[in-house]
């Protein structure tokens, strides 16, 4: 089995992503799982802090703290050479993804957050670093669909998790949970 360091070196721009100053490494251990797609890296986040939804419309915008977090994400991933950015069809996910996509000169694509296999096909076809913005109850499923570990849903107030899934041509996947922006509850 290759070492964690070897997997990181084999993933496109992975060391640069981990060294980004806006990222705060979490004390969690990286986990590896058998898988064999082409080399790549995917950054997966939950949408940033959402505003109250008093009308129960189901599609609230971001709060000012969420807008600041979306900017922090753009700074954190600014130098990784993204080739694709996807989010669900909600205002809060699109607003979280937009600054990062704009910085990378990309258009935000839409994906069904419950179609993990479809997302996997998108990011594997992209052949480069990608960002996916999901929800508290979809981030863990997306990580697992890309070959990472099965993770529990994010807590209601948890907005600062940044899951990174690296894979290489070797049959291994490396997952690391990092933190970005201001700490959340």
Taking the CA atoms of 103, 16, 87 and 152 in sequence, report the sign of the dihedral they define: negative
Identify whether 11 is part of a domain: yes
Identify whether 91 is part of a domain: yes
Structural domain count, the chain? 1
User: What's the CATH number where 161 sits?
Assistant: 3.40.50.1240
Kindly report the number of other CB atoms within 10 A of residue 99's CB atom.
20
Fill in the DSSP letter of residue 55: T
Give the model confidence (pLDDT) of 1-44 as tens digits: 334 443 333 333 333 333 333 343 333 445 544 444 457 999 99
Q: Is the pLDDT of residue 66 over 70?
A: yes
Q: How far apart, in whole angstroms, are the C-alpha atoms of residue 9 and residue 3?
A: 10
Q: ∠ CA(148), CA(108), CA(46), 5° rounding?
A: 45
Higher pLDDT, 4 or 54: 54
Bridge partners, residue 40, by sequence:
167
Domain carrying residue 18 = 4-52+59-180
pLDDT at residue 23 in the model: 43
Identify whether 185 is part of a domain: no
Give the model confidence (pLDDT) of 104-130 as tens digits: 999 999 999 889 889 989 998 998 999
């Amino acid at each position: 089995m290759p070492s964690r360091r070897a997997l990181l070196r084999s993933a496109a721009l992975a060391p640069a992503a981990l060294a980004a100053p806006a990222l705060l490494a979490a004390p969690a251990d990286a986990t590896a799982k058998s898988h064999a797609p082409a080399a790549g890296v995917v950054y997966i986040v939950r949408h940033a802090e959402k505003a109250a939804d008093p009308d129960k419309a189901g599609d609230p915008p971001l709060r000012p703290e969420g807008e600041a977090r979306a900017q922090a994400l753009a700074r954190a991933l600014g130098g990784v050479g993204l080739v694709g950015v996807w989010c669900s069809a909600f205002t809060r996910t699109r607003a979280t993804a937009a600054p990062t996509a704009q910085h990378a000169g990309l258009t935000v694509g839409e994906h069904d957050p419950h179609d993990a296999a479809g997302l996997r096909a998108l990011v594997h076809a992209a052949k480069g670093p990608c960002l996916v913005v999901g929800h508290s109850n979809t981030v863990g499923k997306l990580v697992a669909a890309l070959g990472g570990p099965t993770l529990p849903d994010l807590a209601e107030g948890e907005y600062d998790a940044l899951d990174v899934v690296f894979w290489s041509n070797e049959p291994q996947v490396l997952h690391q949970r990092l933190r970005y922006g201001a700490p959340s509850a």
